[in-house]
Structure formats: C-alpha cells, structure tokens
C-alpha cells in the first residue's frame, strides 16, 4: 500500500468520526444518554460514585425503564418511558411539597391554638386573682366600717349620762325587805340583827369604836363592801347586805352567829 493511499483513507476515517450520527442511530444515542442520566440519578440518590457502577448497569436500568436496546422504533417511543418517569417524579415532588406545606400549616395552627389556650388560661388566672383581691378588699372595708360603728356607739354610750336611779323611798325596813326579794323569813332575821345593833338608826355611832350606821360597820368593814362610809341609810343597807351575803350567806346566818358570839 502506497503512502498516499494510506493517508487518504486516514483522513476520510477521521472526517467520518467528526460527522454527526445519522438519523437511524439517534435512538441508540438517546438510550445512552438516558442510561447515563439514570446512572447519575442513582449516584445522586445513593451517594455512591458513578465510577463504581458496573458496565452492565446501563442495560439493566434501560430494562427497568422499559427502554429497548433495539435501535428500532421511533424516538418518541424510545423516550416515552423517560417522560413518564420525569412526570412521575414531578408529581411526587409536588405531592411532597404540598404535604410539607400542609404539615407546616398544621404545625402553625397547633402552635397558634396552644398560644391562645395559654393566653386564655393566663387571663383567667389574672381575673380570678383580681376577683379574690376585690373580695378581700371588700371584706376588710366591711370589717373596718363595723369596727368604726362599734367604736362610735361605745363612745356615744360613754358620753351619754346614765339615767339617775330613782331615789329609794319608804322606811328602811321596807327597802331592806324589797332588796331581799320579799323573803319575810330572812327579813325577820335581818330586822332582829340590825334592831339590836343600831335600832335601824343610820346615824348610830359606837362610842368605843368606829362602828357606824344601821349595820354598825367598822371603817375596815366599809372598805370590804366597795361602798364608802356614808350617812345615807339606804346605802348603808346595801353595804350591810353585801357584807352579810359574802360572810354568812344570808341574814339568818348572820343573826345566828350574832346570837352565839354577840357580833357578826
């Protein structure tokens, strides 16, 4: 073979390699592109490098996609599975996006409901505290007014003079009988006791002691009755009955003691 002939053939082979593929070979080209895309998709999904894929993976993926390796058939028939895969993936991504949006909406609604519930609980707590404080203030105010009213009434009662008691009238014996509640037997003993002591004379004075008045009390005895020594016969009777009740229990008890000792 001559050098010229060899050079010509080489030039023609190189030009044929640069010429775009014919229309009859385009399905194979699309198949190769689809296989390469599927390999890249599998790599992006699994995270494994494309270089680790087996050479036969292209055919396996083509079979899974329903793409025939046979170059016969139209281009639309060859790329239909890819279009269906892209549409399915688009629908899935749209569904996932819609689901994510719905979940965010539900989360937002739940958070808003929780916020409103918390706000309502806080408002109810504050209202209850306000009512309790108002009730406590009202109770304290009522107690304060009641105390002021009571103090005012007590002050008015102290300022108002007590009505003067009616001055006793009648004989000393009648007065003594009334103080004894009309008990004639006790009055009989009292009449005998004070008749012997003073003759019921409010001005009777013992010349040898401080004994004075109807009951003939010593100064020390007057002090024990709580009634000051007085010339008022009625008050003397009051003091005498106080002394007899505290010392002997009754006029008859005092009269019995006087009969046995000469004093009471």
What's the token pair of residue 37?
Answer: 């895309």
116 versus 70: which is more confidently predicted?
Answer: 116
Q: Where in the chain is the domain with CATH 1.10.530?
A: 172-261
pLDDT of residue 152: 87
Residue 249's region, left for phi above 0, alpha for psi from -120 to 50, else beta, is left
Per-residue pLDDT at 94: 85
Higher pLDDT, 27 or 259: 259
- Residue bearing tokens 């005498």: 240
Q: What is the percent of the chain where pLDDT is above 90?
A: 52
Q: Kindly report the backbone phi and psi dihedral angles of residue 205, in degrees, each rounded to the nearest multiple of 5, phi listed first.
A: -130, 125
pLDDT of 50 strictly over 50:
no
Give the tens place of pLDDT for each residue, 137-148: 999 999 999 899
Q: What are phi and psi of 212, to 5 degrees?
A: -150, 150
Range with the largest mean pLDDT of 62-66, 154-158, 162-166: 154-158
Confidence of residue 57 (pLDDT cuts 50, 70, 90): very low
Higher pLDDT, 50 or 178: 178
Q: What is the pLDDT of residue 23?
A: 43
The predicted model scores a pTM of 0.40
Rounded CA separation 31/69 (Å):
7
**Secondary structure of 62-104 in the HEC alphabet?**
HHHHCCCCCCCCCHHHHHHHHHHHHHHHHHHHHHHHHHHHHHH
- The pLDDT score that the predictor gives to residue 74 is 61
* φ and ψ at residue 217, rounded to 5 degrees: -90, 140
Q: What is the pLDDT of residue 76?
A: 63
Select, from the ranges 20-29, 45-54, 169-178, 188-197, the one with the highest average predicted confidence (pLDDT). Answer: 188-197
Task: Tell which wins on pLDDT, 64 or 10.
Answer: 64
What single-letter DSSP state applies at residue 23?
G
Architecture of the domain whose range is 172-261: Orthogonal Bundle (1.10)
pLDDT at 166 over 60: yes
């Amino acid at each position: 073979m001559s050098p010229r002939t060899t050079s010509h053939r080489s030039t023609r082979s190189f030009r044929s390699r640069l010429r775009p593929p014919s229309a009859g070979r385009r399905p194979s080209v699309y198949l190769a592109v689809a296989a390469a895309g599927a390999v890249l998709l599998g790599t992006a999904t699994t995270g494994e490098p494309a270089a680790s894929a087996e050479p036969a993976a292209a055919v396996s993926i083509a079979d899974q996609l329903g793409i025939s390796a046979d170059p016969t058939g139209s281009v639309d028939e060859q790329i239909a599975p890819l279009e269906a895969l892209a549409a399915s993936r688009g629908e899935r991504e749209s569904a996932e996006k819609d689901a994510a949006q719905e979940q965010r909406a539900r989360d937002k609604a739940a958070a808003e409901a929780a916020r409103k519930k918390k706000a309502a609980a806080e408002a109810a707590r504050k209202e209850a505290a306000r009512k309790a404080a108002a009730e406590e203030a009202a109770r304290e105010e009522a107690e304060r007014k009641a105390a002021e009213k009571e103090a005012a009434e007590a002050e008015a009662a102290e300022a108002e003079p007590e009505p003067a008691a009616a001055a006793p009238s009648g004989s000393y014996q009648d007065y003594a009988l009334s103080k004894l509640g009309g008990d004639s037997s006790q009055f009989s003993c009292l009449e005998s006791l004070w008749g012997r002591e003073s003759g019921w004379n409010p001005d009777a004075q013992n010349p040898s002691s401080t004994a004075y008045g109807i009951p003939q009390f010593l100064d020390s005895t007057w002090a024990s009755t709580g009634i000051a020594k007085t010339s008022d016969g009625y008050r003397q009777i009051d003091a005498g009955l106080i002394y007899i009740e505290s010392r002997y229990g009754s006029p008859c008890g005092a009269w019995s003691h006087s009969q046995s000792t000469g004093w009471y």
